[in-house]
């Protein structure tokens, strides 16, 4: 392979070896996913412990944020409607002035 691709024995080979890992590509990916799953579980457990010490229900916080986002969406739609009505009124007033 080194004769076909001169850089093979340097950067490309090193990258290939890193991706392949011990035992090949699938075990390397499985190991990475297992580590991600474990880190996520640890993070969740730490958040739960922190919430318990603080006496805060994170689900209620999330629901409050979700409600707030919904309220803002409604406010934006109401403002858009109000601006549309104001533009119609302005157009009517301008037509009366002429």
The whole model's pTM is what? 0.41
Q: Mind listing the pLDDT tens digit for each residue in 30-86? A: 888 999 999 999 999 998 898 888 888 877 777 766 677 788 888 999 999 999 999
Enter the tokens of residue 48. Answer: 């739960």
**Could you report the per-residue pLDDT of 6-42, keeping only the tens digit for each?**
666 666 666 677 666 667 677 777 888 999 999 999 9
Distance of CA 27 to the CA centre of its chain: 27
d(CA 57, CA 47): 11
Identify the CA nearest to 70 among candidates 59, 82, 58, 62: 62
Name 27's Cβ contacts closer than 8 Å, sequence gap at least 6: 21
Query: What is the reported pLDDT for 34?
Result: 93
| CA–CA dist 9, 6 (Å, integer) | 7
CB 8 within 8 A of CB 2: yes
Q: Residue 91: which pLDDT band, with cuts at 50, 70 and 90?
A: confident
Q: Which two tokens stand for residue 20?
A: 């392949």
Q: Which helix (H) or strand (E) holds 57?
A: none
| Predicted pLDDT at 92 | 86
């Amino acid at each position: 392979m080194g004769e076909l691709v001169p850089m093979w024995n340097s950067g490309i080979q090193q990258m290939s070896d890193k991706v392949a890992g011990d035992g090949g590509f699938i075990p390397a990916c499985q190991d990475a996913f297992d580590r991600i799953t474990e880190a996520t579980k640890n993070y969740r457990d730490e958040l739960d412990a922190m919430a318990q010490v603080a006496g805060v229900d994170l689900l209620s916080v999330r629901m409050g944020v979700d409600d707030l986002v919904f309220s803002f969406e409604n406010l934006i739609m109401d403002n858009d409607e109000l601006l549309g009505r104001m533009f119609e009124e302005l157009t009517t007033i301008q037509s009366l002035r002429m």
